[in-house]
């Protein structure tokens, strides 16, 4: 196996294996990876557009029993100082502000609250759609669906069916982290395991619900873990074609136990080069994904603009609010004008989209 032979295979449209993807990750220089990933992007998106969406990330509650070691956002159930559950009035105020500024979507995710079940979210979703019938609810995540199934004592497909009927249109890929059990036992042992995350995604796809796939890397994971993760979501995509995009980002160590533990051992936060390398390999490996989203929230807008030449064709969201990553000390939200300027300066045409990646 050598880089030039693999490069020729990729340029001819061939699918690479996990072993080949790992070899590229470990041996190809970044310029080669960028060339290959950019070639795939240009073939999939020859129009030269880079898309983005205008939405808001609302977290109705941060109370959570999952105790993930990488999370700086959640509060334990008895933490009255930090924990909260937003009222419908408070949520509606945030939504109205979003709509007034041109937002078309609400990304709605929560902690694993010990008593809030499916009925609570059904009522919330129905109330939202009565007031804003054209608003797109991109809501929950597979671990949240599993948690609701336990609280409400019904199976996960029933949870998805009820929430879809209440107004949930699509589901984000949160809670994937790294889809290998070795890693999950270290960073999120009480959250949905890898198989459950993937199974719930397939259930959502079976209902016609589009979803995204994510990966949080740069902590206790290895390149082998990253390629196994990519392989597992590629296999689901082969079966369902239900993923609209892949979104990768690097672990943010601020204010969480995992960051403190790793830092004490001499660990260093993933660099932009780490992010670029893994993102380019993901674009090459995920041949059945049309879209790869840049992570300006964790990388900053300049690095995100550079990643548009490493396989990314989407700049993510002009989020009016973000609480989870910012809780770890990452404050990289930028406005619509700045997003469009970064896209133009990178040599592309900005275009707004919806969750299905249709232009709006």
Does 327 score more than 60 pLDDT? no
Residue 187: HSE in the Cβ half-sphere, 13 Å Cα cutoff: 28
Q: What is the pLDDT of residues 258-280, one digit of tens each?
A: 989 999 999 999 999 999 999 99
pLDDT higher at 349 or 334: 349
Does 331 score more than 60 pLDDT? no
Mean per-residue pLDDT for 290-303? 93
Q: What is the pLDDT of residues 302-324, one digit of tens each?
A: 999 999 999 999 999 876 654 54
Mean per-residue pLDDT for 63-78? 87
Q: What is the mean pLDDT of the chain?
A: 93
Does 250 score more than 90 pLDDT? yes
What is residue 332's predicted lDDT score, i.e. its pLDDT?
A: 54
Write down the number of H helices and E strands in the chain: 15, 10
Confidence of residue 325 (pLDDT cuts 50, 70, 90): very low
What is residue 319's predicted lDDT score, i.e. its pLDDT?
A: 64
pLDDT higher at 338 or 166: 166
The pairing of beta strand 314-317 with beta strand 49-53: parallel
Give 208: exposed, middle or buried? Use CB within 10 Å, 0-12, 13-18, 19+. Answer: exposed
What is the sign, positive or negative, of the torsion defined by CA atoms of 322, 229, 293, 199?
negative
The beta-strand segments (E) located in 205-276 are: 210-217, 243-250
Does 18 score more than 90 pLDDT? yes
Report the first-to-last Cα separation within the chain, whole angstroms: 45
Percentage of the chain lying above the pLDDT 70 cut? 96
Q: What is the pLDDT of residues 76-97, one digit of tens each?
A: 998 878 899 999 999 999 999 9
What is residue 1's predicted lDDT score, i.e. its pLDDT?
A: 87
Rounded Cα gap, residues 22 and 222, in angstroms: 10
**What are the residue ranges spanned by the domains of the chain?**
30-352
Mean per-residue pLDDT for 1-5? 95
Mean per-residue pLDDT for 140-157? 97
pLDDT higher at 121 or 319: 121
Determine which of 40-44, 142-146, 174-178, 335-339 has the lowest per-residue pLDDT on average: 335-339
Confidence of residue 330 (pLDDT cuts 50, 70, 90): very low
Mean per-residue pLDDT for 293-297? 93
- What is the dotted CATH code of the domain comprising 30-352? 3.20.20.70
Rounded Cα gap, residues 209 and 36, in angstroms: 31
Rounded Cα gap, residues 144 and 5, in angstroms: 43
pTM: 0.93
CB 159 within 8 A of CB 344: no
Does 300 score more than 60 pLDDT? yes
Rounded Cα gap, residues 342 and 101, in angstroms: 20
Confidence of residue 72 (pLDDT cuts 50, 70, 90): confident
Which residues have C-beta within 8 Å of that of residue 352, sequence separation ≥ 6? 51, 52, 53, 54, 359, 360
Percentage of the chain lying above the pLDDT 90 cut? 82
Q: What is the pLDDT of residues 194-222, one digit of tens each?
A: 999 999 999 999 999 999 999 999 999 99
Does 328 score more than 50 pLDDT? no
Alpha-carbon separation of residue 206 from 98, 157, 201, 242, 351 (angstroms): 31, 9, 9, 8, 30
Alpha-carbon separation of residue 227 from 1, 2, 10, 178 (angstroms): 17, 18, 16, 10
């Amino acid at each position: 196996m050598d880089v030039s032979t693999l490069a020729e295979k990729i340029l001819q449209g061939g699918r690479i294996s996990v072993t080949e993807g790992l070899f590229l990750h470990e041996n190809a220089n970044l310029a080669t990876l960028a060339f290959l990933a950019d070639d795939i992007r240009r073939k999939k998106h020859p129009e030269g557009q880079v898309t983005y969406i205008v939405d808001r990330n609302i977290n109705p509650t941060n109370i959570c029993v999952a105790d993930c070691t990488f999370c700086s956002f959640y509060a334990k159930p008895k933490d009255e100082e930090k924990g909260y559950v937003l009222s419908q009035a408070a949520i509606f105020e945030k939504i109205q502000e979003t709509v007034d500024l041109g937002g078309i979507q609400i990304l709605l995710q929560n902690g694993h609250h010990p008593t809030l079940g499916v009925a609570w979210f059904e009522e919330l979703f129905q109330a939202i759609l009565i007031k804003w019938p054209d608003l797109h609810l991109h809501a929950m995540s597979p671990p949240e669906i599993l948690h609701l199934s336990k609280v409400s004592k019904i199976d996960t497909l029933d949870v998805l069916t009820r929430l879809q009927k209440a107004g949930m249109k699509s589901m984000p890929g949160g809670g994937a982290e790294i889809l290998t059990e070795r890693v999950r036992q270290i960073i999120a042992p009480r959250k949905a395991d890898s198989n459950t995350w993937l199974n719930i995604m397939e259930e959502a796809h079976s209902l016609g619900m589009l979803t995204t796939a994510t990966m949080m890397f740069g902590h206790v994971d290895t390149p082998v873990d990253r390629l196994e993760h990519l392989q597992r979501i590629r296999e689901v995509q082969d079966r369902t074609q239900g993923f609209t995009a892949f979104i990768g980002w690097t672990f943010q160590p601020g204010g969480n136990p995992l960051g403190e533990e790793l830092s004490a051992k001499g660990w260093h936060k993933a660099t932009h080069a780490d992010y670029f390398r893994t993102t380019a390999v993901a674009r090459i490996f995920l041949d059945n994904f049309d879209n790869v989203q840049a992570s300006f929230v964790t990388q900053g807008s300049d690095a995100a603009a550079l990643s548009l030449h490493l396989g990314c064709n989407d700049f993510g969201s002009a989020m009016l609010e973000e609480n989870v990553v910012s809780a770890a000390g990452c404050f990289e939200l930028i406005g619509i004008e700045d997003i469009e300027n970064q896209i133009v300066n990178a040599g592309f045409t900005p275009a707004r989209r919806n969750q299905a990646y249709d232009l709006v």
